[in-house]
Structure 1
Amino acid sequence: MSKKVRIEHLTKVFGRRTQQALELVRKGKTKQEIVEETGATVGVHDVSFDVEEGEVFVIMGLSGSGKSTLVRMINRLIDPTSGEVYIDDADVAKMSKEDLREVRRNKVNMVFQNFGLFPQRTVLENTEYGLEVRGVPKEERQKKAEEALDNSGLLSFKDQYPNQLSGGMQQRVGLARALANDPEVLLMDEAFSALDPLIRRDMQDDLLDLQERVQKTIIFITHDLNEALRIGDRIALMRDGEIMQIGTGEEILTHPANDFVREFVEDVDRSKVLTAENIMEPALTINAETDGPNVALQRMRKEEISMLIAVDRKRYLKGSLTAEAALDARKNEKTLKEVLDKNVQKVQKDTLVTDIFDMIYNSPAPLAVVDDEDRVVGVVVRGSVIGAMTDTEKEEDKSEDGKENTETVDQKGVSADA
């Protein structure tokens, strides 16, 4: 992947005594102490990160952490005090007004918390607005706006007005309007925070579904950790204008960088955040089309396991194979296809751990983890599910207990294929 957005040492101080305020930051003074001493407010201090093309990068933090100031410096709604903001290889922070206008029109669009729809315009006219400002001819902008509405599932509402729509649908119109311009970078500042919880979750689903189709570079601002974990490829956690940690949701949950991050994430229900992909192990497989029972049994002996996941040449799931079934095939000159258990349980790689628990609790075998085309990408064992639902440090302590550790290894053995 190429770097689409690059932030280098970005700083914003509101007020006149900028240098004095920055010096106090370096001395470890709090924002409140700096305000009292200088009258200046440090919004963002020395922030650096990259955003890959096609990535959903979430910036999160509590109120006053600097996240909204940071995102507004990316399209220069707020001018930085110092630092660079590169989109592709162009420094937005140093652009002329004319060049900046072109970037805002053609490369970067923003979706705000309050929807920002014109009440006197229809859904279609609202969606066309950005194209209209750019001078796009009526027929062309209508076509692009209808495509954006269709992608957002709103085409049938194109002739209605904003006050005829629910809050969630209004926000989807705002998103469609941003996408109609076909921006390369989409900035979303607390875009869903004004919505009711159920509608908010639906919007998160819509965004993830839409991102699969359009693959934009998205920088998403939120104060909600669960939202960040749900939609972000990577997350930057901010406090008092500085970034505390950048990483995947898994990295932040399991390896917090400091006490602040640890306390921030300690109340997260891991089972409702982590997915099968996060906890799966490599699948040891047997090719049901080309391999025979002797190959299967030899692999089982080598790996010291008693069950394999059977796939075809393209790794499509075909079933599971036990040692007993392989012995039967060898004794009675059967093919592996004839003795496979085709009822092996499987889960999609984005299945939440909380949904896996009931499936695997009474299962004698591991669960096969498959992608959208039913190809095997790994296996989930009972020990991994239990570990994901407990505190990491407690789980490490438990692994020292001989009995529990043996159970985990046995499950791992059953789960692996040979």
Structure 2
Amino acid sequence: MVISFEEKTPEKKKKCQYLQDRFKDAGFEQIILTVHPYGLPNEIPGKCSNSNYGLRMAVNKINVADDDMKNILVTTCDADSKFPPNYIAALTWKYLQENQPALTTIYQSPLFYNWKLDSLSFITRVTGLLRSLLMLGALIPFNINTMSIFSYSLSLAKQGNFIHPSYQMDDIICLIRWMGVTKRRIRISMIPVAVISGPTSGETVEFEIIEWARQARRWTIGAAEVFHYFIIKAKHIPKMAAFSWGFAFIIYYGVLLCTAGLFGLTSTLSMILLVKRVPLSITYVITTGDVLDESQQESFKSFYRSGKGFVGIHAAADTEYAWSWYNGLLGGYFAGHPSRLQNATLNIVDQNFIATKHLPKQWKRFDEWYNFQMTQWNKVNVLITIDEKSYYGGEHGKIHPMSWYQNYDGGRSFYTQLSHQQDSYLDSLFVQHLLGGIQYAMTGRTK
């Protein structure tokens, strides 16, 4: 297994060690961790250059003879990919069944773009499945391009000079690059098992519209990049192969781009109509002191009491000490903290709530840890507590809440004490925690 990081990945040494420990007994012959240097000439930081670097380093390390490369299949994927247990078996079976077409075929699984698609709304499920149907109905059978997670022989990668590091769309760029080097049309063969990729579906109808608009923009930019690369490389591809692939690509993405333009117009109109019904929230991100005058406080209360939400982050507890209503809204005020940031262990009290269900039962973090005053913890739903034995300076004993939520005075309130440091917003666990809190405040969803 090869895991490739970018040089600017936060805490990459810690992550490398974690992955080594996590997968050391998982059955891999080797675990190769690579770090793609930043600023290499003629490279763009991204998946193409990172995959290219990682694959080249791995080939050098395992030292495989050229004749044996046809017996090694490479699968490229994203960090948020979820493979079924029989993926490798299905890939191997397909490859052997087709008599090891090492230099002519790339293998693609059907992709489903949301880990929890089955739990979302009907409309979101339908539109999410449309992405997969586009792949199954056109991209694979017409050999237009692979998508995100695909497999190929190491022989093809080596003869095709690996992956071009100056582009972003690694899946289609690989296909064009390898057609030019191998002088033939590359076939895409479907593996009969599905893979789940990270969520590119919105969790509500409104967010689904926004997500489709975002994807349409990505397709437009990506198609332009690919077409530019194809024009440059077409002279190296046999004429019939270049013509047939180029024709299919233009028809498919031309239709998509036309549809994307129409969708951009209709989504704008739809959002104008839908946004009136979107439950909104106010978020205080590390505020301090008195930030609202009396008239603003009344406007805040009126907005919130109309069924809206509030999210408080970190020093939101160090705010509006003289406003008793805000104390009830937040659930407590800041009282102080130890003189330095420390590692500590957080205990997840509620692992079913939308903001904490993804977290480990015990979550170790480096942060600034608050003590509180004028607390109303008996009125809130506590999500996370801190183990005061795991750090210095706690003043609440066995029950020291760090995050909670409540229905309060006609609206919804969520607070998390975490995130003193900017690096918190690069931590996927914290970001998902915060996103869940915002979703609760906006929609009232708890699951």
TM-score normalised per structure 2: 0.25
- What TM-score, normalized to structure 1? 0.26
> Greater RCO between the two (CA within 8 Å, min separation 6)?
1
